[in-house]
Structure 1
Amino acid sequence: MKELIEKVNWERNNGIVPVIVQDTKGEVLTLAYMNKEALMKTLETGYAHYYSRSQKRIRMKGEVSGNVQKVKEIRIDCDNDALLLIVEQVGVACHTGNYSCFYRKLGEPEKAVGGIDYSLTILRELEELIKQRKENPKEDSYTSRLFKEGKEKIYKKFGEEAIEVLVAEGRERIIYETADLLYHLLVLLAYNEISLGKVMEELRRRRK
């Protein structure tokens, strides 16, 4: 594992290398990026982990959708600055709902398909922000204040928000109160050092 990681020329692209992802039948699925930690997690778990340049964090492919990529083989190019992953794709690879991200051919009309709702990724982003506020408190942060006041306050607020959902009248009010509930649930989980991923694992276990 260490030998493969050190073989990659990380310095050429500021610690990040492009990764071509292909399924076991030879179809190219997507183009992603990795840093050392993402490659390490991929090798350790057997599931593809990538570095998100926009969110500046490592994520496992399919962590929200369940469309994971089981890695069968990893290859490196002749210049040691690009990787090829051969994977067993669970579900689809593209957020549009297409199997591959390369589903469009230039010069031909685009075919519309039913997309996948990836709005749940906001929960992961919110979870990360809550974690940051816990580890690095900010004076004007409501989240940091909740952690400072401790378990009793955190649990009380979650209970209050649950009641607000139950008594809410009308579609818009229910949506609003549910958003508050989800936020306070993430705070409660972070207080107990439980990641949202663990809850997703339990739901996935029950689905099987």
Structure 2
Amino acid sequence: MLDYKQIIDKLDWEKNNGLIPVIVQGLDGDVLTLGYTDKEALSKTLQTGYVHYYSRSKERIRMKGETSGNYQKLKEAFVDCDNDTLLLKVDQTGPACHLGTKSCFRKIEQIDKLPESNIDYSLDFLNQLKEIIKERKKNPKEGSYTTYLFNEGKEKIYKKFGEEAVEVLVAPNRERTIYETADMIYHLLVLLTYEGIDIGEVVQELKKRHSPEGGKQS
């Protein structure tokens, strides 16, 4: 069995402030994308077999396909001669690019011809909100409503979720339903975080129920 920690420790993390560029190649040889990884993201990639990146813009680790479903299943991993760049060969599900194309790369003369994205990334914000809530639980912040809820404990957290769920049921119109549903989802994420449950676990349960194996096809 490979010692992932020993492998990770041998890479040169200092050159790019703790990050290493990752070139991703499909099984047909096409270069799909370029991303960055840190030690934790690479550890998740090697242990789970699915590619994880460190997002420099969002400053968090994300699994490729976590919202789009376009996963990258790791087949082989290579390191360059300086131990500061990785090449990953993957079995790509769907398009690799966030714009819905097979690859993030196109001929340079097509630099002004970007396709419109056909992937719904609206769930990205839910992941960001989840991470903020987890951070407030771990590191309380003065004046934060989320911190207030965690300080109050289970009874308050469950009560607020129940209240918000009722508000959805009695909402008088479409706009109010959207508003109250947003409140309910936020309080649900707080409740799940309090109980140590990740929203991804709930999604996995839904997937099982609505798969042929689960017997509850949509």
The normalised TM-score by structure 2 is 0.89
1:75 aligns with 2:78: yes
Per the alignment, residue 109 of structure 2 pairs with: 107
C-alpha separation in 1, matches of 2:42 and 2:115: 34
Identity of aligned residues (%): 64
Deviation at 1:40, TM superposition (A): 1.2
Counterpart of 1:135 in structure 2 is: 138
Matched, 1:167 2:170: yes
Q: Which residue of 1 aligns with 2:198?
A: 195
Q: What is the aligned partner in structure 1 of residue 45 from structure 2?
A: 42
Q: Which has the higher contact order (CA 8 A, sep 6+)?
A: 1
Q: State the partner residue of 2:214.
A: none
* CA-atom RMSD in angstroms: 1.6
* Counterpart position of 1:86: 89
Whole-angstrom CA distance in 2 between matches of 1:135 and 1:4: 30
The structural deviation recorded for 1:26 is: 0.8
2:56 to 53, 57, 60: 53
Deviations 1:19-41 (A, max 9, x none): 00111001111110011111111
1:148-185 CA-partner distances (Å, limit 9, x unpaired): 11111111111111111111122222111111111000
5+ unaligned residues in a row in structure 1: which ranges?
Answer: none
Given that 2:98 and 2:117 are in contact with CA atoms closer than 8 Å, whether structure 1 keeps it comes out as: no
Count, aligned residues? 207
**Contact (CA 8 Å) 1:16, 1:33: kept in 2 or not?**
yes
C-alpha distance in 1 between matches for 2:107 and 2:178 = 39
Structure 2 gaps of 5+ residues are 212-218
1:4-62 per-residue CA deviation (whole Å, 9 max, x = no partner) reads: 22332111111111000111001111110011111111111111111111222211111
What residue in structure 1 maps to residue 149 of structure 2? Answer: 146
The reply on whether 1:158 has 2:161 as its aligned counterpart is yes
